[in-house]
């Protein structure tokens, strides 16, 4: 499942590439046809993430709320003018149903690029760049698979597949969803976020390993961050939250404030933050070197040598070191 850093990166891509533009909104799959009709043709005014949820605000007081869930992902296709083409010409917004090469899609547009290439990126649990095409690739691209919603401008196509939630909502409904979410360091900041987290979590008898996955308590933490943060803090995941000292709870919040921006910057979950030089580069390039305990069941702990434990907690795999986490 995409964790908070991935959704913040997707929201940043929307702000960079789509905000400020009128957007053609369709549902090739058909399951979002009614919502698409409400949003179609409106200017995208803002996009932001809170935890694992993304909110896109359109002109006319309508929002698109997306929760990728376990299987959801966005596929972005971007149209690039080839060298020597006009970069400031009038390019007509591409609409669903316009097919053929870019030249056909932009026919009649004065100053439109004479040739173009298209690049592709998939953004979900992982971010993967595809190969860029040569000139003349069809624009917009044909939908591939069950595309729940397509957001299309003159140069960017964003296709959403497999989300848990995709709905058009009012500002009042958006505010209600936001109120139910726990603090997110990017949104709340370190001080205000800690106050909210402490007020929500301090007196809960829920095991801390369960509480960290509760998006109403703290937003954005998924299975990998949960396991790694508890290891870094030396906390047994089965400890009732109420039994933690305030400084332990504060350490978890402060660590989330450290790790989330790193994930947003790098695009991967980095928790072995003490590494430097070649070891750091190897960690960034290889998932097997990236984590202390996650995905390492039965292997020796990198710190104490104890075999990493594996159990199931609320239907998700839980990794921890019984030697380091007491």
Query: Exposed, middle or buried: residue 230 (CB in 10 Å: 0-12, 13-18, 19+)?
Result: buried
Of 204, 258, 302, 316, the catalytic one is 316
Of 13, 52, 226, 290, the catalytic one is 52
Residue 50: helix, strand or coil by DSSP?
strand
Alpha-carbon gap, residue 149 to 138, rounded angstroms = 19
Of 3, 141, 155, 183, the catalytic one is 3
Query: Exposed, middle or buried: residue 74 (CB in 10 Å: 0-12, 13-18, 19+)?
Result: buried
- Catalytic residue check, 316: yes
- Catalytic residue check, 2: yes
- Catalytic residue check, 251: no
Residue 65: helix, strand or coil by DSSP?
strand
Nearest to 73 by CA among 169, 168, 2: 2
Of 2, 140, 183, 185, the catalytic one is 2
Alpha-carbon gap, residue 243 to 203, rounded angstroms = 9
Alpha-carbon gap, residue 58 to 80, rounded angstroms = 25
Q: What is the DSSP letter of 295?
A: T
Alpha-carbon gap, residue 9 to 47, rounded angstroms = 11
Residue 309: helix, strand or coil by DSSP?
strand
- Catalytic residue check, 113: no
Residue 29 CA: distances (Å) to CA of 161, 168, 193, 227, 288 = 9, 16, 39, 36, 37
Residues classed as catalytic: 2-3, 52, 316
């Amino acid at each position: 499942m995409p964790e908070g850093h991935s959704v913040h990166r997707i929201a940043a891509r929307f702000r960079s590439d789509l905000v400020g533009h009128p957007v053609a909104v369709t549902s090739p799959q058909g399951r979002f046809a009614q919502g698409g009709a409400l949003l179609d043709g409106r200017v995208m005014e803002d996009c932001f993430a809170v935890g694992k949820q993304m909110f896109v605000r359109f002109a006319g007081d309508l929002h698109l709320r997306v929760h990728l869930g376990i299987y959801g992902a966005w596929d972005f296709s971007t149209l690039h003018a080839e060298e020597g083409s006009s970069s400031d010409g009038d390019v007509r917004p591409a609409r669903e149903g316009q097919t053929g090469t870019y030249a056909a899609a932009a026919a009649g547009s004065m100053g439109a690029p004479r040739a173009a290439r298209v690049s592709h990126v998939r953004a979900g649990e992982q971010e993967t760049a595809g190969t860029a095409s040569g000139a003349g690739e069809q624009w917009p691209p044909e939908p591939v698979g069950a595309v729940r919603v397509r957001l299309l401008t003159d140069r960017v196509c964003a296709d959403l597949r497999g989300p848990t939630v995709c709905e058009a909502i009012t500002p009042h409904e958006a505010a209600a969803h936001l109120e139910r979410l726990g603090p997110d360091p990017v949104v709340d900041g370190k001080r205000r976020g800690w106050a909210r987290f402490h007020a929500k979590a301090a007196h809960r008898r829920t095991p801390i390993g369960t509480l960290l996955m509760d998006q109403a308590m703290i937003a954005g933490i998924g299975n990998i961050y949960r396991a790694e943060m508890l290891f870094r803090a030396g906390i047994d995941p089965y400890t009732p939250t109420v039994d933690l000292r305030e400084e332990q709870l504060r350490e978890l919040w402060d660590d989330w404030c450290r790790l989330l921006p790193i994930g947003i910057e790098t695009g991967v979950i980095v928790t072995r933050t003490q590494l430097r030089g070649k070891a750091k580069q190897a960690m960034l390039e290889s998932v097997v070197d990236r984590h202390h305990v996650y995905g390492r069941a039965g292997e020796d702990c990198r710190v104490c040598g104890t075999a990493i434990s594996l159990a199931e907690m609320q239907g998700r795999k839980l990794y921890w070191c019984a030697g380091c986490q007491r």
